[in-house]
Amino acid sequence: MEDSCGVYRRDHFLDGLILVDFKYAQSAIASDLGRHLEALGAKWLDVPSDKDLADRLPPGPYLYLDRALKPVHRLYDDVQGAFLTALKPKTTWHDADPFSQLRAAGTSYDCLSVAVPARSPESLSQSPQRLRVVVKDLYRIKGLRTSLNNRAYYDISKPSDSTAAVIGSLARDGAHILGLTKLSSMIAREEPMDAVDFHTAFNPRGDGYQSPAGSSSGSAAAVAAYDWVDCGIGTDTSGSGRRPAMVNGVWQFRPSHDLVDLRGMVTTYAPFDTPCIFTRELQHLKMALRSWIPEKAVHSQAGHRAVSELPSYEIVYPLDYFPVANREQMALIDSFLGDAAAHLPATIRKMSIRETWRSSHPEGTIDDVDEYLRDVVARTYYYAFYHSSDDFREKYAAAHDGRAPYVIPFVQRRWAKGAAVTAAQHQEADGRLRVYKKWLMQSLFHQGSRQDGPKEVLVLLPISNAAPNYRDTPSPSPEEQSALDELFVSPILGAPDIAVPIGDVPYESRVTGQTEHLPVVANLVAAPGKDWELMAAVERIMALSGRPTVVRTGRRMFAQG
């Protein structure tokens, strides 16, 4: 007997068995079970009764040493370079107790060792208990410094006196925090060839030399690469979670903005910033989300109710973003759309945001939405991105004789764009963004119309075109972004969205000289506050279409029959 990651082995851990219920323990000792265990070499030890022990003692294994139970962990090498630091295991969660670094090198060159506890399948049924979690290094963790993947930021960082709300809630629910993961420097956009201060994590998919995207690259790559990581916590502002989900081939959930607590999370633009979750299993995604947002009892959640009992579904198919350039990717997306329409069931509404705006734009606005939104991203997001770092620049200069901190050239350019925006320009652009958001809510989700209410509307979006992006090749990040871009839809709305792994597409790798495969995910967006309705709809689609809800680690997401 061995758990999926090799932590628990019968020949090592059945020397002793802990039975926490006294009546059950007595019956077990006298039963065939007791005789079988003794034949295997198990020994019995009477421990003073503690009526609370069952509640306080998670499933093992444990080492009984010096008349105390010691939890057992296994050390794994971070061969993909996803971690900035590993953490010493904490057996219990108390707000007052700080975390501390595990200062252990891996057996492989240039990598860390990560301490990983055993996972009991029984404990994974209803709660985040025993989930093994990695955390993007922009969340404050009590006792640890924060780097934002930038040496200058780490230089002036002090150990935090508290833990970020969303990380604390997972830990209180029993999740194990394994370590802090890499991200794009200063929470911007950093491709591997742009990295200066810290090497970028390796994406395990395809030929192993594709970009992991950003900014939550380390968390997504760790989930895609390691069986001993169940869940990665990242963030998403304008694609920082969805892009890594796509290229690393994992599930991702971006919750409604008003439902999650951002305390202890370093932000760049609060109206768009939100935590996100990466997993290989849909079930693990739900477990982590429960720690943040109370679960609703949704009609379609079980996936087996009669069609007459289900809400009326509509899927919006925006012609501004479809079709994507890769035809094989488009075929996978259309197949998923067909399954969604058949099994929810749902009607499909094809619409163009540009043409709909032209025919029904708000009073007092122009009929060209691209022109109306011109400079909105720079004057809202980039302005806030620059000023969110004011304190960092001031503290660094004060500590280093007036010197400016080093940031990568892309961040320098984005800072310059944000610094050039005046407060009045920011306020005016923010007003335009609010008008567009209100119009988008009405146009996509029928908010305020006669159809508002019983109908559940989902918006299908691509995340990016599936194409090779080698880590040894420069990949310029966009200098200008439009608020009309598909990656800005859910941030503008403050809406939940989910990245659903649906397949992969072939490409000829110049690294291996063979045909390799790139992951493809579909992105579904629901109206703000409809997080569990979105989750229920995806569960129903996957269950009734027979699609897999678990992806594998390694080169490809799914086993090939």
Work out whether strand 455-461 and strand 312-318 pair parallel, antiparallel, or are unpaired: parallel
Query: How high is the pLDDT of residue 50?
Result: 53
Residues of the chain with pLDDT under 50: 1-2, 4, 122-125, 300-307
Six token digits for residue 23: 């009546």
Query: How high is the pLDDT of residue 296?
Result: 84
- List, in order of start, the domains of the chain with CATH numbers: 10-71 (no CATH), 84-290 (3.90.1300.10), 307-352+437-545 (no CATH)
194 DSSP 8-state letter: G
pLDDT digits (tens, 9 = 90+) for 215-239: 999 999 999 999 999 999 999 999 9
Q: Which helix (H) or strand (E) holds 312?
A: strand 312-318
Query: How high is the pLDDT of residue 133?
Result: 98
| C-beta of residue 426 within 8 angstroms of C-beta of residue 380 | yes
Query: How high is the pLDDT of residue 93?
Result: 85
pLDDT digits (tens, 9 = 90+) for 7-25: 555 555 556 666 655 555 5
In whole angstroms, give the CA distance from residue 256 to residue 495.
5
Query: How high is the pLDDT of residue 302?
Result: 44
From 231, 225, 317, select the one nearest 523 (Cα to Cα): 317
From 174, 369, 350, 167, select the one nearest 275 (Cα to Cα): 167
Other CB atoms within a 10 A radius of the CB of residue 477 amount to 17
Helix (H, G, I), strand (E, B) or coil at 417: helix
Q: φ and ψ at 254, to 5 degrees?
A: -115, 110
Query: How high is the pLDDT of residue 119?
Result: 72
In whole angstroms, give the CA distance from residue 494 to residue 488.
10
Rg of the chain's alpha carbons, rounded to an integer? 25
478 DSSP 8-state letter: P
pLDDT digits (tens, 9 = 90+) for 68-95: 777 889 999 999 999 999 999 987 888 8
Question: Would the pTM of this model clear 0.85, i.e. be above it?
Answer: yes
In whole angstroms, give the CA distance from residue 88 to residue 498.
32
Percent of the chain with pLDDT over 70: 86
Q: What is the mean pLDDT of the chain?
A: 90
